[in-house]
Amino acid sequence: MLKKRIIPCLDIKNGQTVKGVNFENIRYAGDPVELAKEYVKQGADELVFLDITATIEKRKTFVELVGRISKEINIPFTVGGGITMAEDVGALLNAGADKISINSAAVKNPGLINDLAKNFGSQCIVLAVDTNIVSGQWMVFVNGGRIPTLKKTFEWVKEAEQRGAGEILLTSMAHDGTKKGFANELTKMVGQNVSLPLIASGGAGTENHFRELFEKSNADAALAASVFHFGEIKIPLLKNYLFQFNIPVRI
């Protein structure tokens, strides 16, 4: 049985790790290089690094920072933010990233998924999906959750899989930063629409929230930020807790 993955997320703004609530009210959470090193020591399975204002500010992800982080860690490392073309992906992979995450650019130009999968392989293409309910339907948002689109979430993940995406990073905007639990029903429904590995994000507050996610949905991984950054949950203790409930994790 495949192990469930625990993944800290480093949201980056101005070279520092930050965290907000419902994609707003940003506060600083520390140096990304030092945090990355600490998460390797704690036993994180992977890291995700998202330059959260790159798309809004129309600039590229910090390639230099990616290089510094990659030199300090030995676990898989996904990078996203401001990626719009193959050259961006090549630069990030050369800097040490293992996978890249695309969101806004893929929504605006779905063919980008095909191009990147063809050039770099589906295994390193993660589609990030920021979603919220609009008029009773789960809809996709772009530009760091600021702009709603006309894309329906379940249709979009299916299309992305067909185009060559290798993994889905799903964030419920209504749950993000609230620490009230993951969007388990949403995650379950998305998992029923695709056969890709699925990372759930948004809402982690307690160890029990991670257990409920894995028991009530078919998520392959759980991603969280503030509960890890501020020491509210320690990854080794979380994994031991999950193991006690027969959830397969890498100890």
Q: Is 45 a catalytic residue?
A: no
DSSP structural state of residue 249: B
Active-site residue (options: 51, 130, 176, 220):
130
Token output for 166: 């290798």
DSSP symbols for 180-245: S---HHHHHHHHHH--S-EEEES---SHHHHHHHHHHS--SEEEESHHHHTTSS-HHHHHHHHHHT
What is the spatial distance between Cα 76 and Cα 151, in angstroms, rounded to a whole number?
Answer: 30
Active-site residue (options: 11, 88, 176, 220):
11
In degrees rounded to 5, what are phi and psi of residue 162?
-65, -30
| Cα–Cα separations (whole angstroms), residue 41 to 45, 118, 240 | 11, 35, 15
What is the spatial distance between Cα 13 and Cα 63, in angstroms, rounded to a whole number?
Answer: 13
Q: Where are the beta strands (DSSP E) in 202-248?
A: 221-224
What is the spatial distance between Cα 127 and Cα 189, in angstroms, rounded to a whole number?
Answer: 17
Q: Are 200 and 177 in contact (CB under 8 A)?
A: no
Closest CA to 90 of 64, 119, 131, 127: 119
**Looking at the annotation, which residues are catalytic?**
11, 130
